């Protein structure tokens, strides 16, 4: 495994050799080629975008799908820089928005749950924020191939972050919040029915992890949106949004559903700002409800 890891690391560092603008140029071309050749995933993206934006024309859907492929190609070529660049260089290419000093101080006094997703270059945003703002714990599912998991974690942790395996992560998160840490939670992925709540996401039922709502209800830690966009000038804009108000009526079942719905709507609003920079490749609506969604009966 050590040999495989070192070979993989060497290969990624080789990809990181071209300057960032040239790497993005290659990534854009790689994405354009993938759009032409990768029929299976192209159909997933086209379907997801068309069903999420029914008011848009076929031409808009096709262009946005192509732009999404090109964006993902750029992400693929940008990520090796996280391994090659020192933290100072990564932070210098990043602008932070929504974090005045008094707000950052309040996060450190209470702990914070960061509501995030696969938007922009999410890996870049995580590493840059660790250097500029301090370490956090990031909840993620381990990669199945151990050498790849070790490599990915090597850049995720280079600015002090801790990667918490998604399975059985609740105890570690609760301990972190007691220590006033920041905890990043990705909430834009499909989950099985027994792990989620059925909430509205782009007008369709999406089974969504209810763990963030459960944590917020139990700890009262603020839930703050955290996301990244690649800007036209080549820099990354990382945003800390307004705290999402916690709904707590005393009815746990309803509160878990309502807060999960509210968090999901926040993510939807962020994605609508730059739809080509979200991970439409993911089968977000894969898990289906047994009964028809109410809108399907109309």
Report the alpha-carbon distance of residue 260 to residue 212 in Å, rounded.
7
**What's the maximum distance between 2 C-alpha atoms anywhere in the chain?**
58
How many CB atoms are located within 10 Å of the residue 40 CB? Answer: 6
Report the alpha-carbon distance of residue 68 to residue 267 in Å, rounded.
17
pLDDT in tens, the chain (298 residues): 689 999 999 999 999 999 999 999 999 999 999 999 999 999 999 999 999 999 999 999 999 999 999 999 999 999 999 999 999 999 999 999 988 767 777 777 788 999 999 999 999 999 999 987 788 898 888 999 999 999 999 999 999 999 998 877 888 888 888 888 899 999 999 999 888 999 999 999 999 999 999 999 999 999 999 999 999 999 999 999 999 999 999 999 999 999 999 999 999 999 999 999 999 999 999 998 866 655 555 5
Domain total for the chain? Answer: 1
Nearest of 292, 289, 228, 281 to residue 72 by alpha carbon: 281
CATH code for the domain of 192: 3.40.1130
Angle at which helices 20-37 and 39-52 cross, to 10°: 90
Domain residues for the domain of 231 are 2-297
pTM score:
0.93
What tokens were used for 121? 């270059």
């Amino acid at each position: 495994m050590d040999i495989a890891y070192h070979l993989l690391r060497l290969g990624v560092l080789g990809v990181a050799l071209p300057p960032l603008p040239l790497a993005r140029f290659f990534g854009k071309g790689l994405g354009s080629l993938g759009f032409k050749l990768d029929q299976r995933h192209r159909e997933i993206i086209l379907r997801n975008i068309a069903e999420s934006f029914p008011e848009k024309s076929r031409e808009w859907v096709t262009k946005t799908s192509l732009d999404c492929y090109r964006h993902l190609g750029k992400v693929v070529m940008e990520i090796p820089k996280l391994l090659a660049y020192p933290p100072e260089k990564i932070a210098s290419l990043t602008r932070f928005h929504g974090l005045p000093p008094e707000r950052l101080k309040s996060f450190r006094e209470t702990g914070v749950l960061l509501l995030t997703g696969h938007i922009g270059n999410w890996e870049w945003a995580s590493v840059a924020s660790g250097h500029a703002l301090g370490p956090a714990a990031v909840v993620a599912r381990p990669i199945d191939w151990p050498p790849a998991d070790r490599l990915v974690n090597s850049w995720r942790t280079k600015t002090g972050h801790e990667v918490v395996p998604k399975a059985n992560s609740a105890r570690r998160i609760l301990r972190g919040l007691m220590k006033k840490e920041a905890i990043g939670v990705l909430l834009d992925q499909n989950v099985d029915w027994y792990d989620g709540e059925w909430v509205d996401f782009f007008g369709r039922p999406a089974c969504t992890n209810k763990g963030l709502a459960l944590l917020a209800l139990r700890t009262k830690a603020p839930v703050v949106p955290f996301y990244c966009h690649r800007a036209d000038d080549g820099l990354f804009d990382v945003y800390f949004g307004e705290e999402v108000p916690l709904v707590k009526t005393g009815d746990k079942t309803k509160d878990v559903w309502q807060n999960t719905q509210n968090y999901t709507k926040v993510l939807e609003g962020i994605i609508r700002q730059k739809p080509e920079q979200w991970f439409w490749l993911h089968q977000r609506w894969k898990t289906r409800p047994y009964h028809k969604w109410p809108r399907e009966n109309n």
